[in-house]
Amino acid sequence: MQKIPAPCLGALAISAAFCALPAQAQSVEELVEQVKAMRQQLESQRARIDELERDVRSARRASFAPATPPAAPAAAPPAPAAASRPVLAGTLPGTLTGAQLDALRGTGNAAGVAPQTVAAPAAGPGTAAVGRAPAREQRVPEVAPIFEQPGVLTPRGKYVFEPAIQYAYSSSNRVALVGYTVIPALLIGLIDVREVKRNTTTATATLRRGLTNRFEVEAKLPWVYRSDATVSREVFTGTAVERAFETSGRALGDVELAARYQLNNGGVDKPYFIGGLRYKSRTGKDPFEVVTDCQRRCIGENITGTGLPLELPTGSGFHSLQPSLTWLFPSDPAVFFGSFSYLHNFKREVSRTVLGGEKEALGEVAPGGVVGFNFGMGLALNDKASFSVGYDHNSVARTKQSGRTVPGSVRTQLGTLLIGYSYRLTDKKTLSVAVGAGLTRDTPDVTLTVRVPMSF
């Protein structure tokens, strides 16, 4: 192959460079046009970011401003067709955080993020105002009531009228040894065995009024009907024949007044505390006023009666005051609740009627205080029905007479297991049913309570 001289090679290179100049000039012009287009897009994005910043600042000012009807916002100018911004996940419609705005400033085509045109979402039902969080519920959650103290306070300016009826049944066996023991296996005397069956029906009309959203007052008017049946043998007679002794009583019960106040702002995973104070009068029939079988039959006659009352009392006979503290702890989907209370009975001078119609002074009688607590759990089955289960316990102290403990008086324990159901019939009426089973010997075997609270 013939070798080309060096001067010829230089001439060829120069001629090739001159031929490539028009093509290079054309590519430079295209690059300049692309840079200009990118600058226009960047300016449009900056304008859009400034507009969003103004919207965020106005929304923040509106969230701290007093609640007034907002004026109709002016229509925002349409964004240029060429404007585009990257899509950010996790943002609310029409809102951007400061970190996202900074990210927008630092991102764009130069950062390698693909620009996408995003349309502003249309406002639909349920869309919250920009920058204004929904109001948090401050009221205590509702549960099916199973205890005497309600857990839900009445709203301000509202009334709740609650008719209710409660039935309680209990039976007990009593064995009394009348005589003396010669040896442990031999008793000289009589064995008095009695079986007592008690039925108590209490109808109440309760009216509650909400003075504020945290404070309510209550008045309760009860009417009591009681009936006892005692199956026993005649005392101090050798008969083996059993006979039944029945007695009853019906009258107004002890009227009650109460007040409750919500102490704190609870919420999700935060307990509510409600303080209460209840006063119980002695409007019912006094236990010391009833006449026994012996008192009526034995006046002027030499016979022995059963000693059982011919009519039953419908009240306790003592004024009482009961402070309490109720707590509720919402933990979706359940609500845990309970309370602590102490019932103080005020002592008073009492007397009873004896043979001949005379009065016998018994001195100053002070019933023992009652320490109580309960706890339970409520579960909403749906938007209308709810279910509750709980336990209620009361410890009754011994009774004192003239400063001394009454012989035979002991501390009494009352335990009840409760199950309740509640169904909302209408927006202003609810049906609640509670069933209780006694777990101790002194507690009624079964209690059934039906309530129909109505708000207006």
pLDDT at position 303 is 45
Please answer whether residues 175 and 230 qualify as being in contact, where contact means their C-beta atoms are separated by less than 8 angstroms: no
Task: Supply the pLDDT for residue 356.
Answer: 60
Mean pLDDT of the chain: 76
Q: Token pair 């404007």 is at which residue?
A: 83
**Best CA proximity match to 254, nearest among 334, 313, 337:** 313
CATH number at residue 242: 2.40.160.40
List phi, psi (to 5°) of 275.
-95, 140
Which among 285, 282, 296 has a CA at the least distance from the CA of 353? 296
Average pLDDT over residues 351-370: 80
Query: 191: pLDDT confidence band, cut at 50, 70 and 90?
Result: low
CA distance 451 to 433: 6
CA-based diameter of the chain, in Å? 166
| Residue 139 CB coordination number (10 Å) | 13
Task: Determine the Cα–Cα distance for residues 275 and 36; give it in Å rounded to an integer.
Answer: 73
For residue 184, name the pLDDT band (cuts at 50, 70, 90): low
Per-residue pLDDT tens over the stretch 395-428 = 999 999 988 888 888 899 999 999 999 999 999 9
Kind of pairing, strands 400-401 and 385-396?
unpaired
What DSSP string describes 174-227?
EEEEEEEEEETTEEEEEEEEEEEEEEEEEEEEEEEEESSSSEEEEEEEEEEEEE
335 has which bridge partners?
A: 330, 378
Alpha-carbon distance of 87 to 93, in angstroms, equals 12
Q: Determine if the peptide bond prior to 333 is cis (ω within 30°).
A: yes
Other beta carbons within 10 Å of 99: 9
**Better-scored residue on pLDDT, 393 or 332:** 393
**Continuous segment of H or E residues that includes residue 252:** strand 242-252
In this prediction, residues 248-276 reach a mean pLDDT of: 91
19 in a domain, yes or no? no
Percent of the chain's residues with pLDDT above 70: 65
pTM over 0.85: no
Q: Residue 278's CB: how many other CB atoms inside 10 A? A: 20
446 domain residue, yes or no: yes
Task: Check pLDDT > 70 for residue 107.
Answer: no
Residue 152 lies in a domain: no
Q: Tell me if 231 is assigned to some domain.
A: yes
Q: Are 229 and 294 in contact (CB under 8 A)?
A: no
Distance CA 311, CA 286 (A): 11
Residue 392, SS3? strand
Q: How many CB atoms lie within 10 A of CB 245?
A: 16
Domain housing 245:
159-455
Pairing of the two strands 334-345 and 320-331? antiparallel
At 32-68, the pLDDT tens digits run 888 888 988 888 888 889 888 888 888 877 665 554 4
Residue 189 lies in a domain: yes
Number of structural domains in the chain:
1
112 falls within a domain: no
386-411 burial code (b ≥16 CB/10 A, e <16): bbbebbbbbebbebbbeeeebeeeee
Judged against a pLDDT cut of 50, whether residue 445 lies above it is answered with yes
For residue 381, being part of any structural domain is answered with yes
pLDDT tens per residue across span 4-30:
555 554 555 555 554 555 555 567 888
Strand, helix or coil at 116?
A: strand
Domain-located, residue 200:
yes
pLDDT band for position 240 (cuts 50, 70, 90): low
Sheet (strand 400-401) strand order = 348-353, 359-366, 400-401, 404-405
Q: Choose among 287, 169, 167: nearest CA to 224.
A: 167
Give the DSSP H or E segment for 394. strand 385-396
